[in-house]
Structure 1
Amino acid sequence: MPLPLPPPNATVQILSGAKLWLDDGRQGHTVEGQAVVLEGGLIAAVGAAETLAKRYPKAVRIHLNGGTLLPGFIESHAHVGELGAMTRQADLGGLRSEAAVLDRVKAWIAANPDGWIRGRGWDQNLWPGQAFPTLKELDALTGDRPAYLERVDGHAVWVNSAALKLAGITKDTPDPAGGRCLRDAEGNLTGVLVDMAKELMWQKLPKQTLAEAEANLLAGLRRLEALGFTSADDLDVPALDLKAYRALQAKGKLPIRVFAYVHHDDDAAVKAELAQPRTKALAFFQVQGVKFYMDGALGSRGARLLAPYADEPASQGLWVMDPARVQRDALGVMKAGYQPALHAIGDGGNRAALDLLEADLKALGHAPSAPPRIEHAQIVTDEDAARFGKLGIIASVQPMHCTDDHAWTPARLGAGRVHEAYPWRRFLQGGAVVCFGSDAPIADANPFMAIPAAETRQDASGDPPGGFNGDQRMNREESIRAYTLAGAEALGRAGQLGRLAPGEAADLLWVDTDLGTVPPEAMRALKPGRMWVGGRETRE
């Protein structure tokens, strides 16, 4: 159960009685008979339990009665405010037909009779025929009340005629750069807006208040804490959320650490943050870098491919941002001592991201303070997969995307390049750091679901047989590292957190089983146990 955060104190604690997960970057494994000493928010010592008990005779001793004690998990890619906001919208995830989505929206309308109709999570790839929805059915349900229903990936939205009218979007509205307004054969709007076309509608949505932003962030962080995370990388943070985070920090309400990446288009916020030296000491909140977008998402055919989509030969996807602008701005971010994080999903988007980051690293002339990251890195040629390690670029990946999307990804890519999808083994073979996140709320944030997904490349029902591109599986050691040490390396903070090692943050997670040997199918049922953040126990 969650505990209130006590004030920091100098109490020394010795945690013993569990196997410890130790990782020196070359090998991760469990050991028995050892203990961890926590003091002043840090790990003071790791060693033989009896020896440490004699060295610290006045310490508070906590016996864990078996299980595994490991570094707290780092969620390397989440959208925290959006995760928290899911409690205030219609949850449309996992529904197997358009009719089921509309039924869920109908129920939400009955419970929320005023204001905009909001929902998120629909995925036409799960429906019979896999066609995008249209205005007709949504208009019949919603009438004159505006509706805004985000696709599962957040890269497309289904709106009704009332919303289009409010935004002034008509048949004659041109597609914006980096976006598409889907149309029927006669050129009429269908109500689906992809990538930057969403911005035409976004400006008309009710503006969030600071109190609402704080509530959403806190709800999202508590959800991540409940899953075993002691740190979270929040990608694409707007100015209001930055203000809300700092307010929560000042009130001592942040339950876990947050590393924020500012939304690239918020020019004033980006300039203000980059003008300040990046915080190198660990705190509960720090701005880490800036998030950029190369392309869109595969599910809405916005991911930029090197060759046309197999199931839409007229399209190669979108450039959400001009690569030349990303190259210029990412270099500025690195020069300021911060970290660029580039969303790239298609093989075209990833190649462009690698090319521009290679040029930026050369222009920088010295090692960056934190390595540049490519977020998602979903479809990557064999040649480009090897470049991640050579260039020192982080591969920030999400195992649940692989297993959630395996059924329809081959149709998008075709037989000749489907092997490019989720090439985690090739990243590792090339020497790249691979860290794990979820992209929550787009996918389930539960790490005990993601680790089996990485190990088997299968969903919870065992599909597909043999795993989707099963040769790209990761093993248990690599998967735990991707949530711990590699997560710290992805932040340029190895040595500060991510290991059970003296001098590192006392951020720890205990589970009541041997995490090194529990089978993947049993791991999916695991729940996190006791947790410490900065040496303070937050769950018991």
Structure 2
Amino acid sequence: MKKLLFALALGVSLPALADTVYHNANGYTLDGKGDLHRFAALVVGDDGKVKATLPANAALPAGTRVGMKGATLWPGLIDAHGHVTRLGELKLVVDLRDTASIPEALGRIKAGMPAAGWIIGRGWNQERWYADGKLIGRFPTAAELDSVTGDRPAWFDRVDGHAGWANTAAMKAAGITRDTKDPPGGQIIRDAAGNPTGVFVDKAMALIDAVVPADDEARMELVLQKSLETMAEVGLTGAHDAGASVAEWKRFVRFAESGRLTARLYVMAYGPDNRKAIAPKGPIKWGWNDTLSMQSMKLVSDGALGSRGAYLIKPYADMPNTRGLQILNPDQLKTLITEASRDGFQVNVHAIGDQANRSTMAAFAAVPAAERAALRHRNEHAQILDMGDLHTFVDLNVIASMQPTHATSDKGMAEARLGEDRLGGAYAWTALKKSGAQLALGSDFPVEPPDPMFGVHAAVTRQSRDGLPAGGWRPWEKLSLKDALAGFTIWAARAGHAEDKVGTLEPGKWADFITLERDPFAAPEGELWSIKVTGTWLAGKQVFQRK
């Protein structure tokens, strides 16, 4: 049984009420220089901040003592790229993430669809759907979805959020016909006769999204609560929300003001309109006991590899008639980046394909060097790089915000999409690090599971959780366990302008920490993903306990 302890919802303030000494711990923390330290006791002040870490056999100071029974204790983990609202939505819609075929997905939809209204869900991935022992090698169709949804409109986001699957009723509601044009930066998948088949890629998704009824605010608050519960359960005491609307920001503020935020959110406004509406006077620095900040903007330069929307220098190896989708052209990128940077905002650009990455880095080059250094602009994903472009990250002082589980999920698909000769700069964590570039690690939840131990495992082994391939995929790009921990702590903290507040258990920083059922530094690498969080603390107050 699992129990979440939401402190302020019970009328208790977040900071601890008296100095607390957590002793008999198997503690680990990095310091600001990245060196790993061990400790046996953690002293937390009545302000919810770390006073000291103490070695074994040290005299314990006065205060409330909590015996940890030898449990492994780490700093709270920070996901540098996730989607907070979408994570909670998965608890309330039809979730297709682990389906292995179209029939299984249709059965899941039939069993889980609501009694009335639109049928909404997410998580499908045609790259994991099989028929007769082989990958189906195609997108699903509206006709297949019609077979279980009938004349009720249905709309399902792909796992990466860069494509959607509609039934005939949804397309009819949106007025989609064979004469509907592909919007700039988007594609309507069509059959040989030119008729829409039901899948809409990137900017084309807006054609269906425009007619999906909006959720009421009570439901959206429940969504956020579900997301925070999930984050606490997997040991996330912080997350960088990759693209928030005005409505989402207002919701975050209400939770922060009422003490309901059980994780620290570093929010990226989605695009210039949301940025200007949320923060017309400039970046919103960390506030509300350092639980909320909005000092960055998210842009999207291309689509995703799975839907062949990632924008490539050369055509796709498995579909030579396309290079993907350019959502923002070089001039647009340059204008939007330099404008936001001039206004004092960090700019974080989604870039998957090698051409999108090249264009993104060229646009960052237009920002004055002093601004780049101060604002710490970020390339979100930096997924497929031309080897000749790796140096641009250190040259331009741009952070590579990367997601280890993308590599282990995408490995087979990436080989098919790109061919072996273009994989040199794919998911190239160690190559970037060796070049001197700064990294931050995350998951892109709910595209990938939010559990950061899955990311730690992927970073260290370059294997899927079933141990494949033997030795790891492109194993020279593995990170050490210490670096993987840094990626989800101090590197992520720095990417969110919070390295003076969180990321390590050094004196003066918030006492955000977790306990684990096993010591990752003593466990076999292949088992890292299976290690569960047993407790999560924010500002010295426990917000999750596994029982």
Please, what TM-score do these two structures have when normalized by structure 1?
Answer: 0.94
Q: What per-residue deviation string (whole Å, max 9, x for no partner) do you get for residues 445-469 of structure 1?
A: 1112221111111111111222221
Q: 1:473 to 1:426 in 2, by over 3 A?
A: same
Partner of 1:278: 284
1:274 to partner: Cα distance: 4.2
Aligned mates of 2:257, 2:284 — CA distance in 1: 18
Q: Per the alignment, do residues 19 and 71 of structure 1 end up closer, same or farther by CA in structure 2, a change over 3 Å counting?
A: same
**Distance (whole Å) between structure 2 residues aligned to residue 37 and residue 421 of structure 1:** 42
How far residue 507 of structure 1 moved from its aligned partner, in angstroms, is 0.9
Which of 37, 43, 47 matches 2:50? 43
**1:146 corresponds to which of 150, 153, 156:** 153
Gaps of 5+ in 2: 130-134
CA–CA distance in structure 2, aligned partners of residues 41 and 377 of structure 1: 36
1:402 positional shift? 0.9
**What is the identity, as a one-letter code, of the residue corresponding to 2:106?**
L
The Cα offsets for residues 278-308 of structure 1, whole Å up to 9 and x where unpaired, read as: 3145522221311100100000000011111
> Is the CA contact (8 Å cut-off) linking 1:456 and 1:470 kept in structure 2?
yes
- Does residue 98 of structure 2 align to residue 91 of structure 1? no
**Which residue is equivalent to 2:420?**
415
79 and 316 in structure 1: CA distance in 2 versus 1, 3 angstrom threshold = same
Is 2:246–2:278's contact at 8 Å kept on the other side of the alignment? no
Query: Per the alignment, in what secondary structure is the counterpart of residue 247 of structure 1?
Result: helix
Q: Deviations 1:361-420 (Å, cap 9, x if unpaired)?
A: 44xx44554311111111112222232123221111111111111122111001211232
Q: Which amino acid in the other structure matches residue 273 of structure 1?
A: A
1:437 alignment partner in structure 2: 442
Query: 1:292 and 2:299 equivalent?
Result: yes
Alignment of 1:3-42 (within 5 A): 3-5=5-7, 6-7=12-13, 8-33=15-40, 35-42=42-49
Q: Distance in 2 between matches of 1:180 and 1:322?
A: 16
Pick aligned residue for 1:386 from 381, 388, 391: 391
**2: CA distance between counterparts of 1:511 and 1:313?**
47
Q: More displaced, 123-132 or 14-23?
A: 14-23
- In the alignment, what sits opposite 1:356? 363
Residues 498-507 or 378-387, more deviating: 378-387
Maintained 8 Å contact 2:39/2:56: no
Q: State the SS of the aligned residue for 1:302.
A: coil
Is residue 288–residue 339 contact of structure 1 (8 Å, CA) maintained in 2?
A: yes
Q: What's the offset of the Cα at 1:35?
A: 3.8
Structure 1 residue 268: Cα displacement: 5.2
- Uncovered stretches (5+) of structure 1, i.e. residues with no partner: none
Give per-residue Cα distances to partners, 1:409-451, cap 9 Å, x unaligned.
1110012112322000111101222222111111111112221
Check conservation: 1:156, 1:195, Cα contact below 8 A.
yes
Query: How many pairs does the alignment contain?
Result: 532
1:512/1:161 CA distance change after superposition, 3 Å: closer
Provide the residue aligned with 2:200 in structure 1: 193
Distance 1:525 1:369 in 2: 38
Other-structure match for 1:372: 377
2: CA distance, partners of 1:173 / 1:126: 30
8 Å contact from structure 2 (residues 406, 448) kept in 1: yes
Q: In terms of mean alpha carbon deviation, does 279-288 or 390-399 score higher?
A: 279-288
CA contact (8 A) 1:14 1:37 kept: yes
TM-score by length of 2: 0.93
Q: What residue is the counterpart of 1:61 in the other structure? A: 65
**Residues 308-319 of structure 1 aligned to structure 2 (within 5 Å):** 308-319=315-326
- Of 71, 76, 79, which aligns to 2:83? 79
1:229 aligns to 2:233 (yes or no): no
- C-alpha separation in 1, matches of 2:459 and 2:398: 20
Maintained 8 Å contact 1:75/1:229: yes
Q: Which runs of structure 2 are paired with 1:472-511 in the superposition (5 Å)?
A: 472-511=477-516
| Preserved CA contact (<8 Å) 1:214 1:245 | no
Q: Displacement of 1:116 after TM fit?
A: 0.6
Distance 1:220 1:523, change over 3 A: same
Query: Counterparts of 2:73 and 2:327 in 1: how far apart (Å)?
Result: 42
Q: What's the CA shift for 1:269?
A: 5.0
CA gap 1:86/1:26 in 2 versus in 1, 3 angstroms: same
Q: Which residue identity lines up with residue 118 of structure 2 in the other structure?
A: W
- Tell me the amino acid that sits aligned with residue 110 of structure 2: K
Match of residue 132 from structure 2 = none
- 1:181 matches 2:188: yes
Residue 408 of structure 1 aligns to a residue whose secondary structure is helix
Residue 263 of structure 1 corresponds to which residue in structure 2?
A: 270
Distance 2:459 2:298 in 1: 25
Q: In the aligned structure 2, how far is the partner of 1:511 from the partner of 1:140?
A: 45
Check the 8 A contact 2:234/2:450 in 1, yes or no.
yes
For 1:191 and 1:197, locate their aligned partners in 2 and report how far apart those are by CA, in whole Å: 11
Q: In the aligned structure 2, how far is the partner of 1:224 from the partner of 1:272? A: 25
1:405 corresponds to which residue?
410
| Cα shift readout 1:189-231 (whole Å, capped 9, x = no counterpart) | 1111000000111110111222222111111111011100111
* Consecutive aligned runs of 4 or more in structure 1 exceeding 6 Å deviation: none
Aligned to 2:443, the other structure's residue is in SS state: coil
Choose which of 116, 119, 132 in structure 1 pairs with 2:118: 116
Aligned equivalents of 2:274 and 2:122: distance in 1? 29
Distance 1:39 1:336, change over 3 A: farther
Distance 1:33 1:9 in 2: 20
Question: For the residues of structure 2 that align with 1:270 and 1:218, how far apart are their CA atoms?
Answer: 27
Q: Which letter maps to 1:155?
A: H
Structure 1 residues 268, 373: closer, same or farther in 2, change over 3 A? closer
Deviation string, structure 1 residues 19-65 (Cα, Å, up to 9, x no partner): 32232355443424454443412112233466562xx42x1122212
Paired position in structure 2 for 1:106: 110
Equivalent residue in structure 2 for 1:207, among 206, 209, 214: 214
